[in-house]
Chain A
Amino acid sequence: MTETRWNVTFRVYRKKGAAAAHYDEFRLEVDPDEYVLDAIERIWAYQDRSLTFRHACHHSTCGACGMRVNGAEKLTCITPVRQVARDGGVIRVEPLRNFPVVSDLAVDMGVFYRRMEMGEQLPVNVDKREAIQPEARPAGPGGDQLRLADCIECGLCISACPISASSPGYLGPAVLAGIHQHGLQGSERLLELVDSEDGVWRCHSAFECTAVCPASVEPGWRIMELRREVIGQRIRGLFHGPKSSKNGQLEASQ
């Protein structure tokens, strides 16, 4: 940490309940090597205790602190002030796009987490609030319990995706990338899920997801690979005939 101090103005998105959204300005003296999240915390601590935001690990592992800094999706715990502003400058902080805002900078990730679970990776059941026993967990291709090895489920990709912006039904890059990592593994249910109107065919190769991902998941590339798998399965399906699938039941056939 240096001795330099910069004067930076933070323009922070505020929204409580049904009231209209607006921006509050906070002036702060910051060390340019500090992270944006540190500044937000100081704003909360010393200037406005009603500011709501999420944070946990502070080292890009938990995915809680995703926000838009000057319009671009970032993990604020690893975004130094120096990267996004200069002395005397302004930093605009907003919540992620394409999620309902709960309060200020915190968004509701419920639907997203439930969709991640649809990819048949269930280390913790969101609705039952309990861990599923090891024997019941399906294994990943390597045999380990992988919940998408790199993905920290921060939601930056969903925020960046232009299709998630216009279609709330689109599964989204993280979910599809997770299913690709897990592998279709002959599951008719997963195939129907991704080969659908809300699945891989909604992607239009904007690749904004890959650009903002802080964990090198490369969701854009994974969705393309998943498409190939889907087409392969469908063509194979022409020769093997339709499998009987029990609708609505969780099953991994073959």
Chain B
Amino acid sequence: MNNTFYGPRSGESAWLWFAKALSGLVMIVILIIHFIANHFAAPNGLLSYADIVRYYQNPLVLAMEIGFVAFAVSHALIGLRGIILDLKPGAAFIRVINWLFTLLGASAIIYGIWLILTIAGRGAA
């Protein structure tokens, strides 16, 4: 059986963990606001297209939703990367994952922001 002595690989730094913890905490706050606002305070609980468009005219709502997308996606992908690292992948594999997740995360956040702004724009029409 293999009994090789491995040297540790620096690069999984304190900062990424810190970002995950921070985004997690921020998300809890936003999630509470998101839930109360979207499903209790908003008219009809936002269950129809028209309600949503009207709701998204408020710039505070836009800021909250955009923040939510950014933090949620970051937290999820940093966490997922951590789970993969727990399986001790090779150096090449983790480099691919880094690129893939950065791309995936950026795309998801950009898409989310685009979607939010598009819906908001429908209301002005």
Chain A residues in the interface with B (C-beta under 8 A): 100-101, 108, 110-111, 114-115, 163, 166-171, 192-193, 195-199, 201-202, 204, 227, 230-231, 234
Inter-subunit contact B85/A197 (CB<8 Å): yes
B-side residues, CB < 8 A to A, are 1-6, 8-18, 82, 85-88
Residues of B close to A110: CB separation below 8 A: 3
Q: Is the CB of A166 within 8 A of B87?
A: yes
- Please name 11 further chain A to chain B contacts, defined as beta carbons within 8 Å, in addition to the given A193-B8, A201-B13, sorted by A numbering: A115-B5, A167-B88, A168-B6, A168-B88, A170-B86, A171-B8, A198-B6, A202-B12, A202-B86, A231-B14, A234-B15
Nearest Cβ distance between residue B81 and chain A, in whole angstroms?
11
- Judged by DSSP, the binding face of B is loop
A100-B3, A101-B1, A114-B5 as given contacts; A192 in contact with B10, CB under 8 Å: yes
A196 interface neighbour in B2, B4, B10, B88, Cβ under 8 Å = B10
Q: Given the known inter-chain contacts A100-B1, A108-B3, A199-B8, please indicate yes or no for A167 contacting B86, CB distance below 8 A.
A: yes
What are the residues of chain A within 8 A of B6 when measuring CB–CB?
A: 168-169, 198
What's the minimum C-beta distance from A190 to chain B, rounded to whole angstroms? 11
Q: How far is the CA of A110 from the CA of B1 in the complex (A)?
A: 12
Distance between Cα atoms of A197 and B8 in the complex (Å): 7
